[in-house]
Amino acid sequence: MNLAVRDIRHNAGRFVLTTLGIGLLLMIVMGMGGIYRGLIHEAILLVDRIDADVWIVQGGTRGPFAEISRVPVTLEDRAGAVPGVAWARRFVSHTVQREHQGRPLRMVVQGLAWPEDKGEWIPLTAGRPLRQAHFEMIADRSLGLALGDQLNLGRDRYTVVGLTRGLVGTGGDGLAFFTATDAMAIQFEVPGDALRLERAARRERVASQDLGQVLPLLLDRASGLERDIPSLSPPQISAVLLKLRPGVETQDIIETLSAWPDVTAYSTDQQKQLLLGGMVDRSRRQLGMFRVLLILISTIIMALILYTLTLDKLHDIAMLKLMGARHGVIVGLILQQALLMGALGYSLAWWLGQYAFPMFPRLVIIEARDLLILGAIVLAISVLASLLGIAKAMQVEPNKILAG
Amino acid sequence: MNALAIHAPAILAESLTKTYGSGNTEVVAMRDVTLQVQRGEVVALLGPSGAGKSTLLTAIGLINPPTSGRVHLGGQLVLDGPHALMDLRAFRRKHLGFIFQRANLIPFLSALENVQVAMEINDVTPRAAKHRAHELLDYLGVGDRARHLPEELSGGQQQRVAVARALANEPGLILADEPTAALDSQRGRQVMELFAKVARERHAAVLVVTHDHRALDVFDRTLEMEDGRLRESAPSSTSSSTQT
């Protein structure tokens, strides 16, 4: 006869409510583990998909994801000329927040090196890759855009021609792919008034110098377009990606590039480590702290309820002892309740998670290994939580039954 | 007793003394009590509150050992003063049955399960325990209430289930502490007659602490305690009791 189950049946309301609470807490613990996995997945997703061998970024920086990196467009040609490099492509990535149909739209703008890269490697769930050098985009579904939707970014209007699913940046914002030229135009788009003010300021600076006063043509140039002024650099890109020829060692190319004073080169693995070690690690520790706290809270709640359930049964436990019940019968009664509470709470957490996690704004990935580890933790806290009740039950003397 | 010497007295208590506290605060609850009860005998233990009846009962029941004296149960020396000479819990499980003023049924178990659990604790298989629990409840006239929880039973029915539980492992000795105090006189008498029936039919010794003088005719012998001392108030030809 299972005394634990019969007692639970008798105290069903209290047991169900406690198990529900434990289940919800464990669901959050499970979800936080899933969010961490999601963070890692999202952080390295793009690096994995792009499949480059070497990332060249601004010298001394850990860009382009962990921090801002700016390199000149011409770096693409310099790097492409290095022996052993199969191809070099510019990489543009920045986050923008604009308004679309009255709601804020935050996206990571990714530039594809048109015409070499039209986005054929992007896993599309609908639509097609880019076919034009301008005004087309591929958007992730998390942005809430549909095929054919048109989006105003800067002074231009872009049409969604392809859709992806689950492609988000390290911050969880959906990715949007444009040609690199369009991506730069979006990034460096400046309002007309700002341009006019900038030109007036340039003219003023030149006019105040002797050179400007002797060369009136210089004044005209300073008031004109940026691209007509040789001394001003063109818009810059975030990084240059290299794909190496078969048989070429990544480390050899990185050593070659280390001689270039203006850039820093990373392998793909190093790039992932930068992401995980920097941006994700702090989140991981934060989530880890929350998980530890929630597990502690779950343990305390379980211990408390098992203790009160035991207190309610002290008279019955005394009776069982009087009848000669072995310690195992008493310990089993409390321990089985703890294990049942833990197991049901855990199952409930998993079941609820199936419905709740897809609704989370960030990707939640529940891995079998994490489930097993959490299961072991729940087992441990169930045993731990029962100790208080067991200790109390062991102190009960059979003659307590005489107390009435 | 079921596995003990059949001809030995069910209870042989020798010079039992129980004191609480020490020095100026010392209280003697039981003084040099000697008692013998045979199998099949139903003995009443009378006395005012604080006379030491429950102290004697719990000493014999191995739940509150005496300060000095010896307790033999079924011919086995079980307690020598406060020292247990065997596993008391196992001994209680196999050879003793208890009934109290309150039925003390486990509230989350049905009447049947309350009887059944006593046997399962004693390593009887669940199937056999269930079968015997049904038999006992039928024997005590509460078979039709087997599936009910204690809260759904009347006081008399609960006490009958408690008796069934006490009989479950066919103990050689049943100890009852004011088992009829919570019952009306009619039901109280029924319970006392039940003890007599059990003692005779199942050859168990029954020692009952009671205040109820109306059903004393049911008992083979009546003992009285006062100020921790025991004396026999109704001599019997079948057994002996000694007051020292």
DSSP string, A187-249: HH---HHHHHHHHHHHHHHHHTSHHHHH-HHHHHHHTS-GGG-TTSPPPPBSEEEEEEPTT--
Q: Is B55 on the interface with A (CB under 8 A)?
A: no
User: Per-residue pLDDT for B236 more than 50?
Assistant: no
Whole-number percent of chain A with pLDDT over 90: 23
SS3 label, residue A91: strand
Q: Is the dihedral of CA A226, A232, A238, A242 positive or negative?
A: positive
| Residues whose CB is less than 8 angstroms from the CB of residue B133 and which lie 6 or more positions away in sequence, other chains included | B112, B113, B115, B116, B119, B146, B164, B168
Q: Which residues of A26-47 are buried (b: 16+ CB within 10 A; e: fewer)?
A: bbbbbbbbbbbbbbbebbbbbb
Rounded mean pLDDT, B151-158: 88
Distance CA A201, CA A198 (A): 5
Contact B111/B136 with Cβ under 8 angstroms?
A: no
Q: What per-residue confidence (pLDDT) applies to B235? A: 45
Average predicted confidence (pLDDT) for chain A: 85
Rounded mean pLDDT, A93-109: 86
Separation in Å, CA of A324 to nearest CA in chain B = 4
Q: Which of A7, A319, A329 sits opposite B108 (nearest CB)?
A: A7
Contact A321 B89 (CB under 8 A): yes
Domain spanning B11-242: CATH 2.40.30.10: no
Say which residue, A171 or A370, is predicted with more confidence.
Answer: A370
User: Per-residue pLDDT for B241 more than 50?
Assistant: no
Chain A positions touching B113 (Cβ under 8 A) are 1, 6
Separation in Å, CA of B166 to nearest CA in chain A = 9
Separation in Å, CA of A397 to nearest CA in chain B = 8
**Chain A interface mutation, best of B91, B117, B209, highest count of A Cβ atoms under 10 Å:** B117
**Lookup: tokens for A289:** 């702290």
SS3 label, residue A322: helix
| Residues whose CB is less than 8 angstroms from the CB of residue A381 and which lie 6 or more positions away in sequence, other chains included | A295, A298, A299, A302, A342
ipTM associated with this complex: 0.81
Chain A positions touching B90 (Cβ under 8 A) are 324
CA B141 to chain centre: 20
Distance CA A347, CA A351 (A): 6
Separation in Å, CA of B92 to nearest CA in chain A = 6
Distance CA B240, CA B10 (A): 12
Q: What per-residue confidence (pLDDT) applies to B114? A: 94
Rounded mean pLDDT, B163-189: 82
Chain B positions touching A404 (Cβ under 8 A) are 101-102
Q: What per-residue confidence (pLDDT) applies to B207? A: 92
Q: Is B108 on the interface with A (CB under 8 A)?
A: yes
Long-range contacts of A243-246 (CB under 8 A, 24+ apart): A243/A51, A243/A52, A243/A53, A243/A85, A243/A86, A243/A87, A244/A53, A244/A54, A244/A84, A244/A85, A244/A86, A245/A84, A245/A85, A245/A86
Q: What per-residue confidence (pLDDT) applies to B244? A: 32
Instruction: Provide the pLDDT confidence category of residue B28 given band limits of 50, 70 and 90.
Output: confident
User: Per-residue pLDDT for A223 more than 80?
Assistant: no
CA B150 to chain centre: 21
Preceding peptide of A72 cis, ω within 30°: no
Separation in Å, CA of B176 to nearest CA in chain A = 11
Q: What per-residue confidence (pLDDT) applies to B101? A: 82
Say which residue, A278 or B170, is predicted with more confidence.
Answer: B170
Q: Is B166 on the interface with A (CB under 8 A)?
A: no
Separation in Å, CA of A398 to nearest CA in chain B = 6
CA A186 to chain centre: 24
Q: Establish, for the pair of chains A and B, how many residue pairs have beta carbons separated by less than 8 Å.
A: 70
Q: What per-residue confidence (pLDDT) applies to B5? A: 56
Distance CA A133, CA A115 (A): 7
pLDDT in tens, A292-340: 888 888 888 888 888 888 888 888 899 898 888 888 999 998 899 889 9
CA distance between the termini of chain A: 26
CA distance between the termini of chain B: 27
SS3 label, residue A135: coil
Full DSSP string of A361-378 = SS-----HHHHHHHHHHH
**Chain B interface mutation, best of A323, A326, A331, A337, highest count of B Cβ atoms under 10 Å:** A323
Q: Where are the alpha helices (DSSP H) in A51-82?
A: 75-80
Q: What per-residue confidence (pLDDT) applies to A213? A: 67
Distance CA A403, CA A399 (A): 7
| Residues whose CB is less than 8 angstroms from the CB of residue B54 and which lie 6 or more positions away in sequence, other chains included | A402, B177, B209
| Residues whose CB is less than 8 angstroms from the CB of residue B6 and which lie 6 or more positions away in sequence, other chains included | B39
- Give the other-Cβ count within 10 Å of A255's Cβ: 11
Q: What per-residue confidence (pLDDT) applies to A236? A: 77
Instruction: Provide the pLDDT confidence category of residue A228 given band limits of 50, 70 and 90.
Output: low
Chain A positions touching B96 (Cβ under 8 A) are 324
Q: Which of B104, B113, B118 sits opposite A6 (nearest CB)?
A: B113
**Lookup: tokens for A295:** 């597990």
Full DSSP string of chain B = -TTS-SSS-SEEEEEEEEEES-GGG-EEEEEEEEEEE-TT-EEEEE--TTSSHHHHHHHHTTSS--SEEEEEETTEEEEETTEESS-HHHHHHHHEEEE-SS----TTS-HHHHHHHHHHHTT--HHHHHHHHHHHHHHTT-GGGTTS-GGGS-HHHHHHHHHHHHHTT--SEEEEESTTTTS-HHHHHHHHHHHHHHHHHH--EEEEE---GGGGGG-SEEEEEETTEEEEEE--SS--EE--
Say which residue, A229 or A41, is predicted with more confidence.
Answer: A41
pLDDT in tens, A76-92: 889 999 999 998 888 88
Instruction: Provide the pLDDT confidence category of residue B239 given band limits of 50, 70 and 90.
Output: very low
- Read off φ and ψ for residue B238, nearest 5 degrees: -100, -10
Chain A positions touching B149 (Cβ under 8 A) are 10
Contact A172/A203 with Cβ under 8 angstroms?
A: no
Chain B residue nearest residue A327, CA to CA: B89
Rounded mean pLDDT, B60-87: 89
Instruction: Provide the pLDDT confidence category of residue A264 given band limits of 50, 70 and 90.
Output: very high
Whole-number percent of chain A with pLDDT over 70: 92
Q: What per-residue confidence (pLDDT) applies to A190? A: 66
| Residues whose CB is less than 8 angstroms from the CB of residue B199 and which lie 6 or more positions away in sequence, other chains included | B40, B41, B42, B174, B205, B206
